[in-house]
Amino acid sequence: MNLGIDLGNTLAKFYLFDGEKIILQRKVNYSSFESSTDALISENSDISAIIYADVKGMASRILEKYSNDIKVIPVNSSMHLPFTNLYKRGSTLGNDRIVLVAAASKSYPKSNVLVIDMGTCITYDFIDKQNVYQGGAISPGFVMRYKALNHFTANLPIVEYKTPENPQSKNTHGCIQSGVYFAILDEIKARIEYYKKNYESLTVILTGGDANKLPKTLKNSIFANSNFIADGLLHLLKLNIDS
């Protein structure tokens, strides 16, 4: 068995693989990452390799203690990648984005693919049908926008997510919820439209924890895949297990 770990900006996610199959998924807060890792490895003594993508930079110290018995593979731009990377400073491309592009390369070969990851940030990553990663974009996600409106103003409150019925509201909480929601929705629609105009036969993948906040009318026209990052971790592991 193999273990994939995705350490994002908010949560740590574990994926235990038996061959191609995910047999266990687990999400934990960062405060319990080390204890959860220890417990998972203790419960599954036949783990032969661990691959991890870490945007926080905290995993290497914790996983180092297992490196004598288990192959530990950090995701980075210098590993063997299944695509050509045109990012001008390849080392600055986020590990999570590398994993998503690797998944796109494997799952949709010879296709123009836009991957939209709805997390703490919203990332857009595009790989063309020649298997060349052309870059993308990063923008704030739902919670980050809520916090920014509160932090940079004198009177706007922090609000909880709620799907607005329309772009107009008659109270401050509703205006914030509406403003953030429809700004994100319009942004995503415009980004998809841009790539459709510039690249034929576009495939759009939607993933990430906040993907379920988008309306079904949008998701019906694209592919939602909650385990896309797990697919990318496993693909990268197989490509780098012997290096």
Domain ranges of the chain: 2-74, 84-228
Residues 178-223 have pLDDT tens digits of: 999 999 999 999 999 999 999 989 999 999 999 999 887 776 678 8
Bridge partners, 100 (sequence order)? none
Q: Is the pLDDT of residue 243 over 80?
A: no
Q: Which of 169, 170, 93 is nearest to 127 (CA)?
A: 93
pLDDT at 2 over 70: yes
Q: What is the pLDDT of residue 167?
A: 93
Q: What is the pLDDT of residue 56?
A: 81
Question: Of 191, 165, 190, which is closest to residue 178 (Cα–Cα)?
Answer: 165
155 φ, ψ (degrees, to nearest 5): -125, -5
Classify the phi-psi angles of 151: left when phi > 0, otherwise alpha if psi is within -120 to 50, otherwise beta.
Answer: alpha
At 90 the pLDDT is 60
Q: Report, as residue numbers or ranges, the catalytic residues.
A: 96
pLDDT at residue 169 is higher than 90: yes
CATH architecture of 2-74: 2-Layer Sandwich (3.30)
Say how far apart CA 38 and CA 192 lie, in whole Å.
41
> Do 2-74 and 84-228 show the same overall fold?
yes
- Supply the pLDDT for residue 96: 93
77: DSSP letter: T
Residue with tokens 């510039």: 198
The predicted-structure confidence for 51-86, as pLDDT tens digits, reads as follows 999 988 888 888 999 998 999 999 999 999 999 998
Q: What is the pTM of this model?
A: 0.93
User: In this predicted structure, what is the pLDDT of residue 18?
Assistant: 94
| Beta carbons of 127 and 104 less than 8 angstroms apart | yes
End-to-end CA distance of the chain: 18
pLDDT, tens only, 103-144: 999 999 999 999 999 999 999 999 999 999 999 999 999 999
Q: Which CATH class is domain 84-228?
A: alpha beta
CA 130 to chain centre: 23
- Cβ atoms of 140 and 121 within 8 Å: the answer is yes
Average pLDDT over residues 171-182: 96
Greater pLDDT, 55 or 88: 55
Predicted confidence band at 224 (pLDDT cuts at 50, 70, 90)? confident
